[in-house]
Amino acid sequence: MTDQDFIPTEYEQENIKGKTTWKAPSNIALVKYWGKKANQIPANPSISFTLDTCATTTSMSYKKLDNPKSDFSFELFFEGRQKESFKPKVNTFFERIETYLPFLKSYHFKIETSNSFPHSSGIASSASGMSALALCLMDIERGFHPEMTDSFFRRKASFLARLGSGSACRSIEGALIQWGHHEDIQGSSDLYGIKYPFKAHEVFENYQDTILLVDKGTKQVSSTVGHDLMFGHPFAKPRFTQAHENLSELKVIFEEGNLDRFIKIVESEALTLHAMMMTSHPYFILMKPNTLKILNKIWAFRERSKSHVCFTLDAGANVHVLYPESEKEKVSEFIEEELLQHCENGQYIQDRLGLGAIKY
């Protein structure tokens, strides 16, 4: 498919007004997307676990305007309060997707959004937020094109979400989502995320993710700036090649359920992401001393307990602790006794693999 396939044909009908609500999950990448080309095209393919608890719920009320203007017309409420500071981001999103949703300027929208995770927890809400918004907009468009298939609906929602925030395209479905063209993965595309088309061993069912909130402050460097720093980065080329190789290796690992090999790829990907940050110009470090304390304790615990617990990191200081459901009891005990002391106010979020967005 190409971009052109997402430009709709003339609408069969238009609804004057209505309301739609979607809850979309966050996701955590196992092979990381870091570096992009124009129009949010990833420099390398990535794969993620869709989460369950961390999610954004968004309602969109829409009403046809009698006199459409040249600007987008919308109000935005975050957790019940009008939030002017979020509007520029939504406006930019609307600008990027207008070609694919030509009705946007003919309507007034009231957007009401809230997150399941604590505000300013350091957990990025852009993936779940953009995905929820894209799903609401697709629901409105489906009202104009009632014969739209579910698979096209999800694909276009992912395509639109990508234009809001790259990783958001992996937040439509669950539980394992691949984004970015890879020669071994049929159907993979730079334009949208797809459900991982191969077998995943039962050991990955209901995989657990305890998110340790190490630092709740705002990041010194946004991911937009970070992606841009991969331009002219001395290690960019080998890094992009490595991501392709890691995805090929994961294919076998997912099939066989080999957790030792899984851990090696996932932890290496997390540290490579941060290594790219540390070796860009300008260079920066998003991990905190407590992040490193946690990683070392995870390694020590794994060594002595023969557990399959491992970590991954986002573009921030928080740590995602990943482990199979069968080890939940012993890993939870370890987290409680040894890791929570390194979290800001002892805070964490207990999450696990999720099945994707739902409509209310």
* Binding region for ligand PMV (CB under 6 A): 29, 32-34, 46, 126, 165-167, 223, 227, 273, 314-315
Give the residue with the Cβ less far from ligand PMV, 40 or 113: 40
C-alpha dihedral, 234 to 235 to 240 to 246, nearest 10°: 180
Nearest distance from C-beta of residue 267 to ligand PMV, angstroms: 15
In the complex, what is the shortest distance from the CB of residue 57 to ligand PMV, in angstroms, rounded to a whole number? Answer: 20
Taking the complex as a whole, the smallest distance from the CB of residue 128 to ligand PMV amounts, in Å, to 11
CB of 161 to ligand PMV, least distance (A): 10
φ, ψ (nearest 5 deg) of residue 116? -80, -20
CA distance 323 to 4: 41
Q: How far is the CB of 279 from ligand PMV (least distance, A)?
A: 15
State whether residue 250 is helix, strand or coil.
helix
| Residue matched to tokens 């003339």 | 10
Cα–Cα distances in angstroms (integers) from residue 139 to residues 7, 30, 50, 62, 335, in the given order? 15, 30, 21, 11, 41
CB of 130 to ligand PMV, least distance (A): 8
- Nearer to ligand PMV by Cβ, of 20 and 246: the residue is 246
How far apart (Å, rounded) are the C-alpha atoms in residues 39 and 231? 15
Closer by beta carbon to ligand PMV, 316 or else 324: 316
* Nearer Cβ to ligand PMV (156/227): 227
Walk across the sheet containing 310-313 and list its strands: 310-313, 319-323, 208-212, 348-352
- As measured in angstroms, the least distance from the Cβ of 8 to ligand PMV is 25
Q: Which is nearer to ligand PMV, 164 or 324 (CB)?
A: 164
Question: What does R_g of the chain's alpha carbons equal in angstroms?
Answer: 20
Q: Which residues contact 181 (CB under 8 A, 6 or more apart)?
A: 45, 188, 189, 190
How many other CB atoms sit within 10 Å of the CB of residue 81? Answer: 7
Instruction: Specify the residue, 169 or 331, whose C-beta has the smaller distance to ligand PMV.
Output: 169
Q: Nearest 5°: phi and psi at 262?
A: -60, -50
Report in angstroms how near the CB of residue 170 gets to ligand PMV at its nearest. 7
Complex with ligand PMV: residue 250 or 273, whichever CB lies closer: 273
b/e per residue 100-118 (b: at least 16 CB within 10 A): bbebbeebbbebbbbbbbe
- Choose among 275, 297, 294, 300: nearest CA to 286: 275
Instruction: List b or e across 16-38, with b for residues whose CB sees 16 or more CB atoms inside 10 angstroms.
Output: eeeebbbbbbbbbbbbbbbbbee
Report H helices in 41-106: 87-97
Question: Least separation, in Å, of the C-beta of 90 and ligand PMV?
Answer: 16
- Give the nearer residue to ligand PMV in terms of CB position, either 34 or 117: 34
Question: Which of residues 43 and 60 has its CB atom nearest to ligand PMV in the complex?
Answer: 43
Bond preceding residue 43 cis, omega within 30 of 0: no
